[in-house]
Homo-oligomer: A and B are copies of this chain.
């Protein structure tokens, strides 16, 4: 792994759904990892973030690309408990593994903090060497995400020259997602 490209921070998860065993970024080295951070009551997550994550899970070979949902609740905590999340995943037919982001300080979940996410939905792309390569907030283009995943997949079999981590896609909260704070 090149020195200039930092390892993606570890996932801090209190409970997993849709998987028999806990997931761990270290164990996923060699694969592209797509993390979809969401809240079950975030309209933009329901209308585009989660359908995109499910489409990635359905489209790419599972031995090359791993899709992980991360339930990063930073507001209305009592409304989005694991029992509600479980029914939500069932009713919306979401089948990829989903972890509950561990509660942290000031209501901000720990993984969300360590990735400095701006809100939900956030989409993270991690390359086969374990480095964070893209970080989006809000609605993203399927065409572009498909291209970026394929580009990272192609790095598996060759020498690897990292690009620097992309800046977050600029987005407002309204229709697209829920920001942590507008300040």
Q: Which residue numbers of A lie inside 8 Å of B, CB to CB? A: 41-43, 46-47, 52, 55-56, 59-60, 75-76, 78-81, 83-84, 86-88, 90-92, 141-151, 153-154, 158, 178
Within the complex, what minimum Cβ distance (angstroms) separates A97 from chain B? 19
Q: How far is the CA of A87 from the CA of B147 in the complex (A)?
A: 32
- Chain B residues contacting A79 (CB-CB under 8 Å) are 83-84, 86-88
Q: Is the CB of B83 within 8 A of A87?
A: no
Q: How far is the CA of A72 from the CA of B43 in the complex (A)?
A: 21
Q: Is the CB of B151 within 8 A of A142?
A: no
Name the contact of A142 in the complex, choosing from B87, B142, B158 (C-beta under 8 A).
B142
Q: Is the CB of A87 within 8 A of B146?
A: no
Within the complex, what minimum Cβ distance (angstroms) separates A6 from chain B? 24
Q: Is the CB of A145 within 8 A of B144?
A: no
Within the complex, what minimum Cβ distance (angstroms) separates A39 from chain B? 8
